[in-house]
């Protein structure tokens, strides 16, 4: 067994906040169907509406603008598939416009839906990004000129942590009459967000990225923005999302957001401090590395580093043996043969994409964790480089 | 909790045998390198030969756990082996000795035997035994997955008839896809020959 377990994969998912766990345990007994008229049903209903109010307040929205969903992927699917819902009666967003504009660095729950829409005959533009991961504004301007129905750009990237200027991007879309969606799954609770100030029409979020339970999320839908139901059935969520209310999940989500609203400022500063210490420590101790993403507009806990001459899965597994849990953009770890599409889009090249490690820090990480990683990581990189045909010490660094 | 790979793979990954630590002091009789770091794996194999037998085998690998473990296993297996025998070692043999690799990881272990063959060819060349280099010299078609025309021929002989069949058998064209046109041409030729 390793000396300690250091979880640094918070962008993949997070452990429950102890307060969320407590709320969930208490919530287990609230079994009534929130759609029922009797007392037990109304009790569940009240809990759900309480959570809705908390989320709305946190995002600067109205409660009726919040739709509870089964998570980020469902929220993203709901919005993107609205472009062409195929229903003749509903108020489709397209109104003759059938295009979608998104980016090359989106999460698969946007990218693969975009591809699906493309197969259905929708034209899709995948915007390139610069080496720091920021959307290319010139390409965006050109894409907007084609009057797309919808623009979908993530607020912060899950792999490299780069934060987009959503306010500007949304304003540009609005000027063109296009609707604007942002996948904010990695951003909520880490950046201050006011949906009305940002001027966006839709926003996706998932509770499990913010110390809440898995399988529950939200979709913010601006009042007056077009909406087509994605999951048809009962009249839950004012007919916007069918399925018996996930009372327990929603209670957990509400609690997670309530805690974030109290702890965010302090926690973000603390985690950013740890992340920067980790970054500087790696830069001091290990030669021939490349820090991916934007130098300043980056999520507080995300640090993506490529190591020349070593492959990511090997680094990940050696770190795992030491109890350090991270992720990689290498092809080998993903089960596909392609390395990270995000890193390739930033232009780092396949070699560096294969050798990338994402450290994503969160609320349970401490300075001791950072020191532990800084103690264990350098010998691992050194060892893998010593057995690598793509890294030669004798030639002082990279040989390829 | 189960590890991702077999215990043997884990052992060879954590404690790799015969790494070529010091390239300058190891007097190799033959050296071969295959693969491409763009595709995620690359291997270098260096051998010492005496009286037609491999007396030492050292290596360097850039790649994932499967790639490192399979080169390590290969280096153990071929020591003391006659050149002719080592020339025909297959990835399946290495895979078997490793206690099996997950299906999607098998392609990570297919470079070792090729690097070894390249090292043996290098030795033959240096010692004036070019005649022993297998005449039907394979030409690499797919640079990413290191698939040769011989591999395509073999796959067709074994029943592959479509591009998809070929990809399933050899992983050809599964990375950058630039070789598709050439592959289709060869496929047509071999299907004509053996179909």
The span from the CA of A217 to the CA of A8, in Å, is 23
Q: List Cβ neighbours of A317 (8 Å cut-off, separation of 6 or more).
A: B4, B13, B65
Q: What is the mean pLDDT of residues A60-75?
A: 98
Report yes or no: B42 at the A interface, CB cutoff 8 Å. Answer: yes
Test B40 with A337 for CB contact under 8 angstroms: yes
User: What residues of chain B lie within 8 A of the CB of A333, using their CB?
Assistant: 64
Question: What are the structural domains, with CATH classification, of chain A?
Answer: 6-14+264-384 (3.90.1150.10), 18-260 (3.40.640.10)
Neighbours of A342 (CB within 10 A): 27
- Which residue in A308, A318, A320, A332 has the most chain B C-beta atoms within 10 A of its own C-beta, making it the best mutation to test that interface? A332
Of B86, B65, B81, whose CA–CA distance to B9 is shortest? B65
The span from the CA of B58 to the CA of B21, in Å, is 9
Test A387 with B23 for CB contact under 8 angstroms: no
Q: Among B21, B39, B42, whose Cβ lies nearest the Cβ of A389?
A: B42
Phi, psi of A77, rounded to the nearest 5 degrees: -60, -40
Test A337 with B33 for CB contact under 8 angstroms: no
User: What residues of chain A lie within 8 A of the CB of B11, using their CB?
Assistant: none
**Residue B173, token pair as written in the block:** 């064209």
Please tell me the predicted confidence (pLDDT) of residue A331: 80
The span from the CA of B158 to the CA of B141, in Å, is 19
CA distance B18 to chain A (A): 10
Report yes or no: B61 at the A interface, CB cutoff 8 Å. Answer: yes
A332 an active-site residue?
yes
Report yes or no: B13 at the A interface, CB cutoff 8 Å. Answer: yes
User: What residues of chain A lie within 8 A of the CB of B173, using their CB?
Assistant: none
Residue A400 has pLDDT above 70, yes or no: no
User: What is residue A226's DSSP assignment?
Assistant: -
Of B157, B150, B78, whose CA–CA distance to B119 is shortest? B78
Write the pLDDT tens digit of every residue in B104-158.
777 777 788 889 999 999 999 999 998 888 755 678 888 888 898 888 888 988 8
**Residue B51, token pair as written in the block:** 């009286």
Q: What is the mean pLDDT of residues A20-38?
A: 96
Q: Among B61, B144, B174, whose Cβ lies nearest the Cβ of A389?
A: B61
Please tell me the predicted confidence (pLDDT) of residue B154: 87
Edge-to-edge, what's the strand order for the sheet holding B53-62?
A: B30-36, B41-50, B53-62
Please tell me the predicted confidence (pLDDT) of residue A299: 98
Interface predicted TM-score (ipTM)? 0.88
Residues in a beta bridge with A9: A360
Test A314 with B65 for CB contact under 8 angstroms: yes
Question: For residues B41 and A339, is the Cβ–Cβ distance under 8 A?
Answer: no
User: What is residue A130's DSSP assignment?
Assistant: -
Question: What are the structural domains, with CATH classification, of chain B?
Answer: 1-131 (3.90.1010.10), 136-195 (1.10.10.1100)
- Which residue in B64, B74, B103 has the most chain A C-beta atoms within 10 A of its own C-beta, making it the best mutation to test that interface? B64
**Please, which pLDDT band fits residue A293 given cuts at 50, 70 and 90?**
very high
Mean pLDDT (chain A) is 93
Q: List Cβ neighbours of A345 (8 Å cut-off, separation of 6 or more).
A: A103, A104, A105, A128, A129, A133
CA distance A290 to chain B (A): 16
Inter-axis angle of helices A312-321 and B7-14, nearest 10 = 100
Please tell me the predicted confidence (pLDDT) of residue B22: 81
B57 an active-site residue?
no
User: DSSP 3-state assignment of B56?
Assistant: strand
Q: Please say whether the dihedral angle defined by the alpha carbons of residues B20, B23, B29 and B30, taken in this order, is positive or negative.
A: positive
Task: Give B147's Cβ-side CA count (13 Å radius).
Answer: 29
Question: For residues B91 and B113, is the Cβ–Cβ distance under 8 A?
Answer: yes
Please tell me the predicted confidence (pLDDT) of residue A333: 66
Instruction: Give me the DSSP letters along A270-282.
Output: HHHHHHHHHHHHH
Q: List Cβ neighbours of A245 (8 Å cut-off, separation of 6 or more).
A: A33, A34, A35, A44, A45, A48, A68, A236
- The contact set of A with B (CB < 8 A) is 309-311, 313-314, 317-318, 321, 330-333, 335, 337-339, 349-351, 354, 386-392, 394, 400
The span from the CA of B132 to the CA of B129, in Å, is 6
Test B37 with A330 for CB contact under 8 angstroms: no
**Please, which pLDDT band fits residue A396 given cuts at 50, 70 and 90?**
very low
The span from the CA of B89 to the CA of B82, in Å, is 11
- The end-to-end CA distance of chain B, in Å, is 48
Test A337 with B65 for CB contact under 8 angstroms: no
Q: Among B62, B64, B145, whose Cβ lies nearest the Cβ of A390?
A: B62
The span from the CA of B174 to the CA of B165, in Å, is 12
Torsion of CA A126, A131, A135, A138, to 10 degrees: -90
Of A363, A241, A381, whose CA–CA distance to A311 is shortest? A381
The span from the CA of A164 to the CA of B28, in Å, is 53
In the numeric block, the tokens 């946007």 are attached to A110
Q: What is the mean pLDDT of residues A82-110?
A: 78
User: What residues of chain B lie within 8 A of the CB of A350, using their CB?
Assistant: 37-40
Test A311 with B174 for CB contact under 8 angstroms: no
| pTM of the complete model beyond 0.80 | yes
Write the pLDDT tens digit of every residue in B51-73.
999 999 999 999 999 999 999 99
**Per 3-state DSSP, what percentage of chain B is helix, strand, and coil (rounded to 5)?**
50, 15, 35
Question: For residues A135 and A127, is the Cβ–Cβ distance under 8 A?
Answer: yes
CA distance B183 to chain A (A): 19
Q: What is the mean pLDDT of residues A349-363?
A: 95
Please tell me the predicted confidence (pLDDT) of residue A395: 40
- Nearest residue of A to residue B1, measured between CA atoms: A1
Of B187, B143, B189, whose CA–CA distance to B169 is shortest? B187
Write the pLDDT tens digit of every residue in A218-276.
999 999 999 999 999 999 999 999 999 999 999 999 999 999 999 999 999 999 999 99
């Amino acid at each position: 067994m390793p000396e300690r377990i250091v979880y640094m994969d918070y962008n993949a998912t997070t452990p429950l906040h102890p307060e969320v766990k407590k709320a969930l345990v208490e919530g287990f007994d609230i079994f009534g169907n929130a759609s029922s008229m009797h007392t037990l049903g109304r009790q569940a209903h009240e809990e759900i509406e309480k959570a809705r109010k908390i989320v709305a307040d946190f995002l600067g929205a109205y409660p009726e603008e919040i739709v509870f969903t089964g998570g980020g992927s469902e929220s993203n699917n709901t919005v993107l598939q609205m472009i062409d819902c195929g229903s003749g009666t509903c108020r489709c967003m397209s109104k003759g416009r059938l295009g979608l504009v998104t980016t090359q660095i989106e999460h698969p729950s946007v990218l693969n839906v975009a591809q699906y829409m493309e197969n259905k005959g929708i034209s899709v533009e995948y915007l390139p990004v610069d080496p720091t991961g920021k959307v290319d504004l010139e390409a965006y301007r050109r894409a907007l000129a084609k009057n797309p129905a919808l623009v979908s750009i993530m607020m912060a990237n899950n792999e490299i942590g780069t934060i987009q200027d959503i306010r500007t991007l949304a304003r540009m879309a609005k000027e063109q009459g296009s609707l604007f969606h942002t996948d904010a799954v990695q951003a909520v609770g880490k950046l201050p967000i006011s949906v009305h100030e940002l001027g966006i029409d839709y926003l996706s979020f998932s509770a499990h990225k913010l110390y809440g339970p898995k399988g529950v999320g939200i979709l913010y839908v601006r009042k007056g923005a077009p909406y087509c139901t994605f999951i048809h059935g009962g009249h839950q969520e004012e007919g916007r999302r069918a399925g018996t209310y996930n009372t327990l999940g929603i209670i957990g989500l509400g609690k997670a957001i309530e805690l974030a609203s109290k702890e965010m400022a302090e926690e973000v500063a603390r985690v950013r401090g740890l992340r920067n210490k980790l970054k500087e420590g790696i830069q001091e101790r290990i030669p021939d590395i490349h820090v991916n993403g934007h130098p300043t507009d980056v999520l507080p806990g995300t640090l993506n580093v490529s190591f020349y001459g070593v492959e990511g899965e090997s680094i990940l597994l050696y770190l795992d043996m030491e109890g350090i849990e991270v992720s990689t953009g290498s092809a080998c770890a993903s089960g596909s043969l392609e390395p990270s599409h995000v890193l390739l889009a930033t232009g780092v090249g396949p070699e560096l994409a294969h050798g990338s490690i994402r450290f994503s820090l969160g609320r349970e990480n401490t300075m001791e964790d950072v020191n532990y990683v800084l103690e264990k990581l350098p010998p691992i990189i050194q060892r893998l480089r010593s057995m690598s045909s793509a890294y030669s010490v004798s030639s002082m660094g990279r040989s390829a | 909790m189960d590890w991702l790979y077999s215990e043997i793979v884990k052992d060879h990954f954590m404690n790799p045998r015969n790494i070529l630590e010091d390239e300058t002091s190891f007097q190799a009789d033959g050296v071969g390198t295959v693969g491409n770091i763009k595709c995620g794996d690359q291997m270098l194999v260096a051998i010492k030969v005496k009286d037609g037998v491999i007396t030492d085998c050292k290596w360097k690998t850039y790649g994932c756990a499967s790639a490192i473990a399979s080169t390590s296993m290969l280096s153990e297996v071929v020591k003391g082996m006659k050149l002719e025998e080592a020339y025909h070692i297959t990835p399946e043999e290495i895979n078997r000795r490793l206690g099996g690799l997950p299906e999607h990881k098998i392609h990570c272990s297919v470079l070792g035997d090729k690097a070894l063959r390249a090292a043996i060819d290098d030795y033959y060349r240096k010692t004036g035994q070019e005649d022993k280099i297998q005449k039907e010299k394979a030409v690499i078609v797919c640079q990413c997955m290191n698939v040769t025309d011989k591999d395509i021929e073999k796959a067709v002989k074994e029943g592959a008839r479509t591009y998809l069949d070929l990809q399933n058998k050899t992983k050809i064209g599964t990375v950058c896809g630039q070789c598709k046109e050439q592959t289709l041409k060869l496929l047509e030729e071999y299907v004509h020959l053996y179909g």
